[in-house]
Chain A
Amino acid sequence: MRRIWAIARKEFIHVIRDPRLLMVIMAMPLLQLFLYSYALSFDVKNLPTATVDFDHTTQSRQYLDALQQSNYFQINQTLTSYAGVDKAFESNTDKVVVVVGAGFGSNLAAGRAANVQILVDGSDANSAQLARGYTAALSRVYGSKVIVNQVEAKGFSTSSVPQLSSNTRVWYNPEGKSAAYYVPGLIVILVTTVLVLQTANTLVKERENGTYEQLIVSPIKNIELMIGKIAPWALIGALQIMLISLIGIFVFQIPFRGSVLLLVLSSLLYVSCALGMGLIISARAASVDSANQLAALVAFLPTLMLSGFIFPISSMPWALQAISYCFPGRYFMVITRTIFLKGGGLEVLWPQMMALAIFAVVIISLASVMYRERV
């Protein structure tokens, strides 16, 4: 025990003496927290839009006004023909061009279909998709408003017309705040990045510095060395999780609906997984360089991309979905989000908890075996 403590103290002093390392551990999470909370939104508004109005009637102007007033489109130029469309797209001046066909007003008045053509720059698939959806919805609303007015002008009531409607409720995050979604997920990402990377470096660094031999001749046992090496990082991991949770809850006002105990328990399991992965890399890697690259390859990249942090797993090709099961980040991601946003307890989270527990046991035992072999 005393020997473990000595190693842990030494490791701590390393961290505290290295201001840049401290910055990475503490400032990096904060920076990411703010960036993800503010920057991460796919909900584009004010799409730069050009119009071509072949109709020049009150109705066509009204229709274009309706688009402008929706805040989804920002009309920044009026073209007189199709000739300027390519130029507008190629120079990125506009992403959408709305073309109102000749006869728009008279067709609407006569109860015939009035034609509108929407040209969309597809090179930015996300904006293009939104533009397509917005124009379709706004046009439908505008069209049916005109029809309702016409019908009512004839003296019929439209409220008695039977129709199919949907009653939509949005649960958990009704305002669609991106912080609420990304902050719980960020816990997973940050813990993975910092813990795996730093533990991966521990042994390799000693070896590169030549202090490793000194450790071997000391009376310390392998397992004590291992525990001493990872204990400070486990503590730092716990601190990070607390820090992010508190800032998320108090600064970004994200809800916390679940149980603290479950979060602590799952964090412990996940931190063990991360430390274990770091140790395995540490035992395998030949140099600091390759330890860093390995950590990026097996920990950081898969956790960022395959855990469902930003990109929904269900939309991925099946091969990647299958691979995603092999990284513990995926399970912890579900757990943190469910605890924060949905308030789900063990009754819904037991499969993920179980998976995490299995991962933790397997990774840690693998790590200690490999560590012993290496030493």
Chain B
Amino acid sequence: MLPILFIMPIVMLLMFGYVVGSDIKNIQLAVLDSDHSVQSQQVVDSFVNSTYFTVSARPTNEAQLKTALDGGQAVLALDIPKGFSDSIRQHRSSQIGVVVDGSDSRTSQQALQYSNGIISALGAQFYPQVAAAAGAGGVNVQTRIFYNPTLRQVNTMVPALLAFILLMSTTNVMSQAIVKERERGTLEQLFVTPIGRTDYLLGKLLPYVGVAFIQVCVTFIVGVLWFQVPFNGSLLVIGSGLMLFMLAALGIGMLVSLMSGTRQQAQQTSQFIQMPQMMLSGFMFPIDAFPRWLFYLTYLIPLRYILVIVRSNFLKGSTFMELWPQFAAMALFSVGIFALGLSRFHKRLAD
């Protein structure tokens, strides 16, 4: 039990850090080059040199191109028609066919964004006269990205993991612990001893709070040292946010254990309620992209608020001043859920 308690956060950190945190790159590219010219080679080189694409297939006709996309060997395909270089030499318009596998809308959008950029740069290269004639006009955009200049996904993921791991371990373990005693019948034995109910509960909670604390520390240290996530926040803000959140997580665990007769049931129930939390809190998927009705549902999930707190504080150094609405919501939830759990627990034992 104990080693798994520590292996779990590390496995999750590695998984989420490296998988969820990975940026879309190495997009597989199929090239159907019917022109075989210097220019068509230049097109392919531009794609490869951008580092976003790697050539994974070189079909020689339309049917093979289709097979490459069907079989998932390529996500994007370039179809460079015969006569492509002649058009460029004779100053006529030329066209590259781009086929994208749209099944994964996220990857395909990203791939299209990259390829549009590359093709528009190639246009200026192939038709220098036109580019010169257009002059230096137009809108010149300069982008500055704050807090996470290289846009590493890991920097978004690791702070969130602090809260998520806390939720996973406390809810699960808490829900199991009480049910286990009940299953074994040791709960009744405990109550004939002079230990009070609140004493029992607190004593029961403390070790798990300790374990959760260590797990959060491990996550923090590995995140900062191994994944090199910059920490610009304050331990006080993050710590108090996580403490509040832990109350809510423990409360949820208590409620689950009260609803369950066996450990398997407890485990199933906590799995059942963890999944929507994972999906609807903004942990993995941006809640801004949800349909409206689903977006309003997210307000009911405590994890949503703590995620804003840890992310904002970790990377941007936001303080209580900016984060008070989230703290207020969290406090409300935590106290509410924990109190509910506690009172139900007392009632259950009184019966």
Contact = CB atoms under 8 A, between A and B. Distances in A.
Interface of A: 18, 20-21, 23-24, 27-28, 31-32, 35-36, 38-47, 63, 87, 89-92, 108, 111-129, 132-133, 135-137, 139-140, 142-144, 146-147, 150, 161-174, 176-178, 180-181, 201, 205, 288-290, 292-293, 297, 301, 305-306, 310-312, 314-317, 320, 334, 337-338, 341-344, 347-349
Given A121-B146, A135-B141, A47 B72 contact: no
B286 A45 contact: no
B275 A344 contact: no
A314 B286 contact: no
A142 B98 CA distance: 24
Contacts of B104: 181, 312
Given A38-B291, A39-B294, A135-B143, A31 B276 contact: yes
Given A35-B275, A164-B126, A320-B18, A315 B25 contact: yes
A47 B287 CA distance: 11
Given A42-B285, A125-B153, A314 B148 contact: no
A168 B118 CA distance: 14
Given A165-B95, A172-B102, A173-B105, 15 more contacts: A35-B275, A41-B285, A114-B139, A116-B142, A122-B146, A122-B315, A142-B139, A162-B92, A165-B119, A169-B97, A173-B102, A181-B104, A297-B4, A314-B26, A315-B23
A50 to B, nearest CB: 13
A24 B264 CA distance: 11
B190 interface: no
Given A38-B290, A316-B19, A144 B138 contact: yes
B316 A123 contact: yes
A169 B115 CA distance: 13
B151 A162 contact: no
A283 B105 CA distance: 41
Interface string B237-256: 00000000000000000000
20 contacts: A20-B269, A32-B275, A39-B279, A41-B286, A41-B289, A42-B105, A113-B139, A119-B144, A132-B151, A136-B143, A161-B130, A164-B88, A292-B267, A297-B8, A301-B12, A310-B20, A315-B23, A320-B18, A344-B70, A344-B71
B308 A36 contact: no
A164 B119 contact: yes
A44 B140 CA distance: 24
A123 B311 contact: yes
Contacts of A91: 318, 322-323
A113 B276 contact: no
A306 B123 contact: no
Contacts of B103: 172-173, 180-181, 337, 341-342
Contact of B105 (A43, A125, A146): A43
Chain B contact patch, size range: 35 or more
B263 interface: yes
A170 B141 contact: no
Nearest to B23: A315
Interface stretch (B106-114, B204-212, B217-225, B338-346): B106-114
B1 A176 contact: no
B138 A123 contact: no
Contacts of B87: 162
Contacts of A115: 140, 142
* For the complex of A and B, 5 pairs with smallest distance between CB atoms: A143-B138, A122-B148, A176-B105, A348-B71, A164-B123
A18 B264 CA distance: 11
Contact of B316 (A89, A133, A342): A89
Contacts of B317: 90
A291 to B, nearest CB: 10
Determine which residue in A20, A35, A150, A338 has the highest number of CB atoms from chain B within 10 A of its CB, and name it.
A20
B147 interface: yes
B263 A314 contact: no
Contacts of B109: 43, 176
B34 interface: no
A120 B143 contact: yes
Given A122-B149, A166-B95, A92 B108 contact: no
Contact of B100 (A133, A169, A177, A180): A169
Contact of A162 (B93, B142, B264): B93
B182 to A, nearest CB: 14
Nearest to B154: A125
B144 A117 contact: yes
Contact of A92 (B102, B105, B312): B312
Determine which residue in B94, B108, B126 has the highest number of CB atoms from chain A within 10 A of its CB, and name it.
B108
